[in-house]
Amino acid sequence: MKALLDTNFLLLPHQFGVDIFEYLKYYDIATLSSCIEELKKLAKKKGDTAVAARVALLLLKQKNVKIIHTKEKTVDKAILDYALQEKCTVGTNDKELIKALKKHSVKVIRLKQNKYLEEF
């Protein structure tokens, strides 16, 4: 099984102390190059989100997460297109993206009650 992770999903380990990689241990995990770019921009700022982005970038390297290069301008469109093409599950908390994914019957993993992950 494949799982594609959105930027906001990658911030969860630091923000909420949720071990997303333990939950996804049976998945082939990937993220988009555009998500990496978003994390790098966030990491340059100050505050808790910047720390979460730096933690996410470190975890991506440690866990050898596959990076999918995309030319699509909008990250959400790229995620939707890739998920449909590869028939993979998407890890995200973005409400609009979740709506679009569910419209196309794509499985989603999201944070529930700020403490555990739920697949639906």
**18-61 confidence digits (pLDDT tens):** 999 999 999 999 999 999 999 999 999 999 999 999 999 999 99
Task: Identify the residue whose tokens are 């997460």.
Answer: 65
How confident is the model over 96-116, as a mean pLDDT?
A: 97
Res 71: pLDDT: 84
Copy the structure tokens of residue 95.
């409400």
Pairing of strands 28-32, 66-68: parallel
| Average pLDDT of the residues of the chain | 96
What's the pTM?
0.94
pLDDT at 4: 98
Look at residue 12 in the predicted model and tell me its pLDDT: 97
- Which domains are seen in the chain, by residue range? 2-119 (3.40.50.1010)
CA atoms of 22 and 73, how far apart (whole Å): 31
Cα–Cα dist 80/75, whole Å? 9
68-99: per-residue pLDDT in tens? 998 887 999 999 999 999 999 999 999 999 99
Residue among 33, 26, 32, 30 at smallest CA distance from 119: 26
The amino acid present at 10, given as its one-letter code, is L
Closest CA to 59 of 80, 39, 38, 33: 39
Q: Which helix (H) or strand (E) holds 111?
A: strand 108-112
